[in-house]
Amino acid sequence: APLEETSLPLYFGWFLLSPVQVKIGCTAMDFLKTLDTLEAFKKHIADFTGEAEKEVDLEQYFQAKRSLHCTTKFCNYGKADGAAEYAKNPVVIKSYGSVSELSLTALFVTPRTVGARVSLSEQQLQLWPADAEKEPEAAVPGSAALPAGSRAHVTLGCAEGVQPVQTGLDLLQILTLPQGEVVEEMELGSLRYYGEGRWMLSLREPICAAACFSSFYG
């Protein structure tokens, strides 16, 4: 019935509580502010600008997101595969509205997106769809072989014209690549370069973020 179909949300996920949203927003801004001043970053500036000598202000380059969250299941109001099954899963129903701690373990930047990697607990993994990492081979080669939860992230910002779905794809792509050398020890952690404008900072101290498991209708 049409009424039942429209009762499914755009997506389910963990929604960061407001104090921690501010904290993460600030940490991400500080990271971007420092990153674009590093010699190692400037060496690869053409990845972002298309030109070797041009400068980039990463804080301006990305449009910051509000209402930070970690998507578990994108349902597209029921049009996405497995949406109804997910919504009916007893674990999903039981967990709905509960607050848990997300562990943010890395920040990553590409010419398209900036995001935080989320390392899920065993309990949180129960809410993770089995096919979340299974992107078509053409989109992200090798992603299907990554462990469950690899795609878990919080989108912090997107470049102009880029859709937020890209953040998870960028993370999957980085995780399929061989781990690069550490190019810089920053205050927040170790920075690695993965080619083609892809950077990942492993946080020395993971950021603990209280978040509510819920859904977004829009």
Q: Indicate which residues carry an active-site annotation.
A: 69, 153
Which region among 26-34, 42-50, 164-172, 181-189 touches ligand ACK (by CB under 6 A)? 164-172
CB neighbour class for 119 (10 Å; exposed up to 12, middle 13-18, buried from 19)? middle
CB neighbour class for 144 (10 Å; exposed up to 12, middle 13-18, buried from 19)? middle
CB neighbour class for 181 (10 Å; exposed up to 12, middle 13-18, buried from 19)? exposed
Which region among 26-34, 98-106, 163-171, 174-182 touches ligand ACK (by CB under 6 A)? 163-171
Give the interface size with ligand ACK as a residue count (CB under 6 A): 9
Q: Which is nearer to ligand ACK, 79 or 204 (CB)?
A: 79
Q: How far apart are CA 132 and CA 120, in angstroms?
A: 13
Question: Do the Cβ atoms of 181 and 191 come closer than 8 Å?
Answer: no
Show the CA angle centred on residue 74, arms to residues 68 and 80, nearest 5°. 160
In the list 12, 31, 62, 74, the residue contacting ligand ACK (rule: CB under 6 A) is 74
Residue carrying structure tokens 């497995």: 82
Q: How far is the CB of 120 from ligand ACK (least distance, A)?
A: 14
Question: Do the Cβ atoms of 127 and 72 come closer than 8 Å?
Answer: yes
Using CB under 6 A as the binding rule, the residues of this chain from 32 to 71 that contact ligand ACK are 71
In the list 155, 157, 211, 213, the residue contacting ligand ACK (rule: CB under 6 A) is 155
Q: How far is the CB of 168 from ligand ACK (least distance, A)?
A: 6
In the list 25, 78, 164, 180, the residue contacting ligand ACK (rule: CB under 6 A) is 164
Beta strands 11-16 and 62-64: pairing type? unpaired
Q: How far is the CB of 13 from ligand ACK (least distance, A)?
A: 7
Question: Do the Cβ atoms of 64 and 157 come closer than 8 Å?
Answer: yes
Binding status of residue 31 toward ligand ACK by CB under 6 A:
no
Taking phi first (over 0 means left), then psi (-120 to 50 degrees means alpha), and beta for anything else, what does residue 67 get?
Answer: left
Binding status of residue 150 toward ligand ACK by CB under 6 A:
no
Q: How far is the CB of 113 from ligand ACK (least distance, A)?
A: 8
Binding status of residue 11 toward ligand ACK by CB under 6 A:
yes
Interaction site with ligand ACK (CB under 6 A): 10-11, 71, 74, 155, 164-165, 167-168
